[in-house]
Structure 1
Amino acid sequence: MARTPTASAGRRSRTKTVLMGGVYVALLGLVSLIIAVAVATAYLPSYGELTKRSDLGQMIRVRAANGAVLVSLGPSFGEWLPYAEIPAEMRAAMIAVEDKRFRSHLGVDPIGIARSVKVRVDSGRWRQGGSTITQQLARNIFLTNSRTFGRKVKEIILALAIERKFSKNQILELYLNRVYFGGGAYGIDAASRRFFGHSADHLSLGEAAIIAGLVKAPSNYAPTADAEASRQRSGVVLNSMVENGFISAAAAAAVDPAEIRIQQTTRENSVRYFTDWALPQLDTLIDETSDPIDVWTTLNPGMQAAADRAIDAHTPRGVQGALVAIDRDGAVRALVGGKDYVDSIYNRATQAERQPGSAFKLFVYLTALESGMKPTDTIVDSPVTIDGWTPRNATRTHLGPVTLREAFSRSINTVSAKIGAQLGFSTIADMARRFGITSQLSTFPSMVLGTSEVRLIDMTRAFASVANRGVAVTPYGIRKVITADGRLLYQHEQNEERVLVAPWVAAEMVDLLQSAVMGGTGSAAQIGRPVAGKTGTTSSNKDGWFIGFSSGLTTGVWMGRDDARAVGNLQGGTAPARAFSAFMRVAVANRPVEQFETQVPIPDWQLTPEEQMFGDVAIDGNVLESMVDEDGMPLDQPGQPPVDQPFLQPGRPGDPSQQELDQAFPPQQAPPRANQYPQRPPPQQDPRSQPPANPSDPGAQLP
């Protein structure tokens, strides 16, 4: 049937109408796009504002004592590199792999969009985004990564606006300094420092190819996650650079990805126990800031690795272990809060409170020594009952008369109980608080055997203070805090020395601690150089402790179950002491050997009048043998009147005058009174530093 002119004209009219409608819609869409781009351009931040990356969050980079990066928290930023300082290889590699028509398009690449649509139709899902460098920049700064049509439209509008407002060089500079490269690194400088250990201003061709290849899938291609995958991806980038004429085939072939050195990072599983303890202290050290900061810590990576190995190797199966090492100035050099941070973030070195057992006897014997007892004084090891409590020795035997040194080295419980009964249990608790024990302490008689729960770091701090001649040691983990541009926010300063006990008391305590290692319960802790320390074992072997020091480093080790169940054969002198030894042999290997100072002379003003009359006195309080005759009577001493002559009294008939006596026997200048040493703050300043109660006072006796 022939077509009529009227029907043909109708169809042409409808086609024309559709075409005209399409043109109008296109024109309307174009006008709307132009208006949207103009509005977006007007509201875009300035170039200077976009170079500030605080909108990505605060970067905290934690460094070890040697400057090595331990862990990066939050986004990681490097130095902002201007376009001229970005290596040409880096610029070319990024354009080749991400947007080969970057220099020619207006912010959107129609060819790339068409290709991504075709892939979408063929595969049934989006495989290629078709996004230009400018679109990626717009998405990274202003949008999210959601795959929606509305977000894509906004991305296109913003990309066109960015191209209107900024030059191509500025856009590429913004992109390379802000794009995410994995491992927490934003920008090429952060990525270069994170993966290669140096700034991005002198990247090699191979390194630039690795960084450029990360943008597609940072988590998959990050060198720290999969070094081999990142090297293979760099080969794709190099080939793309050759195809686009950026480099020659010979230059690409000269790059050996296997020879590119990837910077190894410290095992985060271990150091997170330390950073979890140290970083919260920033709240009190610096004012709140959003600027990127570098936190320089006291942690020694070598010691930390040795601590990991010691705990892993010596902690029994199914048991947790913890270790903390404190230097003589309070710097924490190693800290292990458990066998595996991934399995448990609970920090057993700084949070857990456990019974210390006989390690608590440090405070019992410090109290005894400060009261006037000496390491050579004798006390009877015999059964004793105090307020219905009858302590037993681990050997279930009694040795009779023993010196304090032997009682401490053998960790005899009855002797500790008798000291507590004599001096007062509250006095011993005060001594523990004076040395930094912050947990609640019982004053029941059994407290002398370590039944009150304490923290490992507090106990280690107390032993460190003894090693420091009785001067308080305060643990710290942060040395300084600086901003990315080098501005100092905080610098650690040593606190004014606070004397806890007199130096001769500390020296006598070191004597006892050394004997416990040389021939007592801590013999497994020996390391081939002078060591002093103490074991601790609780009832039913629920906890094992060893805390000791050598060459200026004090280390505490604890082992036990989190549920406080008994552990077969766990004693302070076994696994904990062996872990201490394994760690310390490495930790102090490069330190000079230091002999302990256990013979600190007592000042004249601390001596009794009788001791002053006989001259010098040995550290144990006994008159030197050369000062007595065979019957034990004192011999004449130079500068003293004969012992068989009565003391002369001025003013008595026939006696010389006071002036003549002063000339014959010049008086020594009177030193401060004994109760004036050491100087300690008044109670309202530091209640832990108060001197112990006088044993002769009623309050220091048994209730």
Structure 2
Amino acid sequence: MASRRKPKNKPASRKKAAPKRGTPWLRWAGIAILWLAVLGAGTVAWFAHDLPDTSALWDVEDSSSVTFLDRGGRLIARRGAVYGPPVRLDSLPDHLPGAVMAVEDRRFYAHPGIDPIGLSRAAYANFRAGYVVQGGSTITQQLAKNLFLTNERTIRRKAQEMLLALWLERKFTKDEIFALYLNRVYFGGGAWGIEAASQRYFSKPASEVTLGESALLAGLLKAPSRYNPSSDVARAEARATVVLDVMVEAGKITPEQRETAFDAPIVVSRASAVESAQYFMDWVDTEVRQLVGEVNADLIVETTMDLPMQRMAGRTLREGLKQEAIDKGAEQGALIALGPQGEVLALAGGRDYTASQFNRAVMAHRQPGSAFKPFVYLTAMEAGLSPWTTRMDAPVRVGDWEPGNYGERYYGEVALKTGLEKSLNTVAVRLTEELGREKVARTAQRMGIVSRLAPTRSLALGAQEVTPMELAAAYAPFANGGMGVIPHGITRIRTMGGQVLYERRGSGPGRVVQPDPLAHMNFMLESVVEQGTGRAARLPDRTAGGKTGTTNDFRDAWFAGYADGVTTVVWVGNDDNRAMQGVTGGSYPAAIWAEFMRHAPPMRDYAAPAAPSPAAPAAQPPARPAEEAPREDPIGDLITTVRENGAGGD
């Protein structure tokens, strides 16, 4: 019976078990939390397992700098990872850290290294704009990235940046972090740290910068290249104005202080404001490493550049290719000027270095068109012909190729002087076939062309590519008395302590043109400028010689010439080989050349060749039809049965 009563207790036991119905939910919640913790720890461990070593945090990298001087000993610029000596926060004027904090991290002293409010504000601003207009990284995060990480944009790198920021905040005080940031951040122009930047841009210590200068330095941090006053003073000043406005908004300065800063001009060190010199320095910087290798010492490089001429080169090229030229499709250009021994006095590799660092003066291989013809005529002079020797200007056939003059204009029997003045294609082709293409190619290479020249039918018309530097070197013997040159930009390299690591010796290839042929060529090339296709290059106070060049479809336009020992080549065109609208060598290139050469000082250390007797033989036939102003035009393919790739004339 007792055993039968036991079932009566079962309902009671069920009532006691009822509270356990929630246990599975709590159990699973606990398990989930545990797994999340494990996954979180694993994620942190995965991000942190290869974090960089932080033991050398306070060590400053001992890297060498390179100081470039022009031919007169004037400072051009300094390059290299130049770290200034570390500065203490309390040694700086209040407005300098205030400017940096206002634009980079207003809540720096209020967050633990990561700022959720700043991140939310940046995300909202970016969402409204539809693209990234603000960044949410704190100064601590930026310091972590600059010290330990790369610039790659990945979730892993961002997570590591945050972990390092939290570590820095636990390890150091806020003032220590901010001082470390100011001493390590990049300010452009090769300057790392606030002291190096202040010396670079204002030639004074950071402890002495004004409010306006502080705003300019703080403005650089957003984009050091874009807002660098060395590249664009107006853009840097506009950015500094934004910084001053933000400082007022953040309560760092008063409106009255901002107005006072506006009234105080910011003077950027002139030596660091030579934008066009960047092309020259890119070129010689590579040569420095080739000449002396890797040297763990600060170097001084004495160059051949003439700083005033360099400034003029950049200015004339930029002003010569203004909107009118751009509207005609002439968007790029290059200018290079050599002295009598091949020293590069000025080099502008493009219209705007900040927009494109491609050095067209050194690296662009383009067809020279009729600027190649002087090598044809020099070969003729060396073969015993003279400026008054005549040849027929009439249609000519070379196999199945029929090069002609633009518009089918022919003058009949003409003197070679006239053929070069008018840049007659048929005369140049006849001479080349008569003298031998190989011989003409050898003449050009003896003069200074180093690119391979194949003896093709269109050789005389400049259909094979050369660089502006090569063409300048090949024209230099016309200017210096017949001596070959090797273009160079460095005369000496030494350490700060005075140890000479390299010094240029030697004078080049020696004589490459004999006096009589050279005198004939000078006579004809001067005639091209005085009364031929190069009349836009005439100088008001001295004699100049040179030659225009234009290729098919107006893809390239050149002027190569010389005066008083200075040889200058100007090229105008487009990087993508796009055709221009009627732009010839006698237009923008000749005008740019003349403007630059008008300000170029004469070089007296060369032997100018004697000019030939101007007396022409009495039997010289007149040019037919009646004389007219020479036109410089490409031959196009109006009269060719087989078009030679790129062959041109003018």
TM-score bucket (shorter structure): 0.5 to 0.7
Partner of 2:462: 450
SS at match of 1:116: coil
Q: Offset at 1:514?
A: 0.2
Q: Offset at 1:369?
A: 1.6
Structure 1 segment 559-574 matched on structure 2, within 5 A: 559-562=572-575, 564=577, 566-574=579-587
**Is 1:199 matched up with 2:199?**
no
Structure 2 residue identity aligned to 1:362: P
Structure 1 segment 376-391 matched on structure 2, within 5 A: 376-387=388-399, 389-391=401-403
Q: Cα–Cα, structure 1 residues 484 and 229, in superposed 2: closer, same or farther, change >3 Å?
A: farther
Partner of 1:318: 329
Q: What TM-score comes out, normalization by structure 2 length?
A: 0.65
Q: Offset at 1:174?
A: 7.3
CA contact 2:559–2:569 (8 Å) conserved in 1:
yes
CA contact 2:551–2:557 (8 Å) conserved in 1:
yes
**Is 1:116 matched up with 2:111?**
yes
CA contact 2:534–2:586 (8 Å) conserved in 1:
yes
**Is 1:501 matched up with 2:496?**
no
Distance 2:607 2:344 in 1: 22
Q: Cα–Cα, structure 1 residues 235 and 522, in superposed 2: closer, same or farther, change >3 Å?
A: same
Q: Cα–Cα, structure 1 residues 94 and 140, in superposed 2: closer, same or farther, change >3 Å?
A: farther
Structure 1 segment 215-294 matched on structure 2, within 5 A: 225=236, 226-231=239-244, 256=261, 258-263=263-268, 270-289=276-295, 291=297
SS at match of 1:557: strand
CA contact 1:205–1:255 (8 Å) conserved in 2:
no
**Is 1:578 matched up with 2:591?**
yes
Distance 1:559 1:412 in 2: 22
Instruction: Tell which structure's C-alpha radius of gyration is larger.
Output: 1
Structure 2 residue identity aligned to 1:280: T
Question: Cα deviation per residue 1:15-69 (whole Å; 9 max; x = unaligned)?
Answer: xxxxxxxxxxxxxxxxxxxxxxxxxxxx95698xx35443xxx656667667887
The worse-fitting range, judged by mean Cα deviation, of 569-578 and 354-363 is: 569-578
Distance 1:158 1:68 in 2: 46
Q: Offset at 1:534?
A: 0.8
Q: Cα–Cα, structure 1 residues 259 and 500, in superposed 2: closer, same or farther, change >3 Å?
A: same
Q: Cα–Cα, structure 1 residues 596 and 569, in superposed 2: closer, same or farther, change >3 Å?
A: farther
Partner of 2:316: 306
Question: Cα deviation per residue 1:436-482 (whole Å; 9 max; x = unaligned)?
Answer: 22223221343222222222221122112221111112222345556
Of 484, 489, 493, which residue of structure 2 is paired with 1:472? 484
SS at match of 2:463: coil
Partner of 1:681: none
Q: Percent identity?
A: 31
Partner of 1:393: 405
Distance 2:401 2:138 in 1: 81
Distance 1:337 1:118 in 2: 45
Distance 1:216 1:426 in 2: 58
Partner of 1:11: none
**Is 1:90 matched up with 2:103?**
no
Distance 1:475 1:357 in 2: 22
Structure 1 segment 586-665 matched on structure 2, within 5 A: 587-588=599-600, 591=602, 597=608, 599=610
Partner of 2:35: none
Structure 2 residue identity aligned to 1:448: A
Structure 1 residue identity aligned to 2:479: A
Distance 1:261 1:149 in 2: 37
Q: Offset at 1:305?
A: 1.4
**Is 1:410 matched up with 2:412?**
no
Of 503, 526, 530, which residue of structure 1 is paired with 2:538? 526
CA contact 2:69–2:76 (8 Å) conserved in 1:
yes
CA contact 2:361–2:468 (8 Å) conserved in 1:
yes
Partner of 1:659: none
Higher relative contact order (CA 8 A, sep 6+): 2
Distance 1:46 1:124 in 2: 27
Structure 1 residue identity aligned to 2:197: A
Q: Offset at 1:565?
A: 5.3
Q: Cα–Cα, structure 1 residues 69 and 403, in superposed 2: closer, same or farther, change >3 Å?
A: same
Q: What TM-score comes out, normalization by structure 1 length?
A: 0.60
Partner of 2:385: 373
Distance 2:227 2:285 in 1: 30
Q: Offset at 1:259?
A: 1.0
Structure 1 segment 420-435 matched on structure 2, within 5 A: 420-435=432-447
Structure 1, unpaired ranges of 5+: 1-42, 100-111, 243-249, 602-617, 623-703
Distance 2:311 2:511 in 1: 32
Q: Cα–Cα, structure 1 residues 215 and 467, in superposed 2: closer, same or farther, change >3 Å?
A: closer
Distance 1:387 1:124 in 2: 74
Distance 2:138 2:572 in 1: 57
Q: Offset at 1:367?
A: 1.1
Question: Cα deviation per residue 1:235-268 (whole Å; 9 max; x = unaligned)?
Answer: 799968x9xxxxxxx9x89974631524177778
Structure 2 residue identity aligned to 1:281: E
Q: Offset at 1:533?
A: 0.6
Distance 1:142 1:446 in 2: 58
Distance 1:113 1:569 in 2: 59
Distance 2:116 2:99 in 1: 24
Question: Cα deviation per residue 1:111-155 (whole Å; 9 max; x = unaligned)?
Answer: x999436996888869999989xx998986568895766424532
Distance 1:90 1:68 in 2: 30
Q: Offset at 1:176?
A: 6.3
Of 192, 198, 207, which residue of structure 2 is paired with 1:186? 192
Partner of 1:354: 366
Distance 1:342 1:484 in 2: 30
CA contact 1:87–1:202 (8 Å) conserved in 2:
no
**Alignment root-mean-square deviation, CA:** 5.0
The worse-fitting range, judged by mean Cα deviation, of 304-313 and 565-574 is: 565-574
Q: Cα–Cα, structure 1 residues 595 and 438, in superposed 2: closer, same or farther, change >3 Å?
A: closer
Partner of 2:571: 558
Structure 2 residue identity aligned to 1:599: A
SS at match of 1:516: helix
Q: Cα–Cα, structure 1 residues 551 and 155, in superposed 2: closer, same or farther, change >3 Å?
A: same
Q: Offset at 1:333?
A: 3.7
Distance 1:446 1:490 in 2: 43
Partner of 2:562: 549
SS at match of 1:422: helix
Q: Offset at 1:319?
A: 3.1
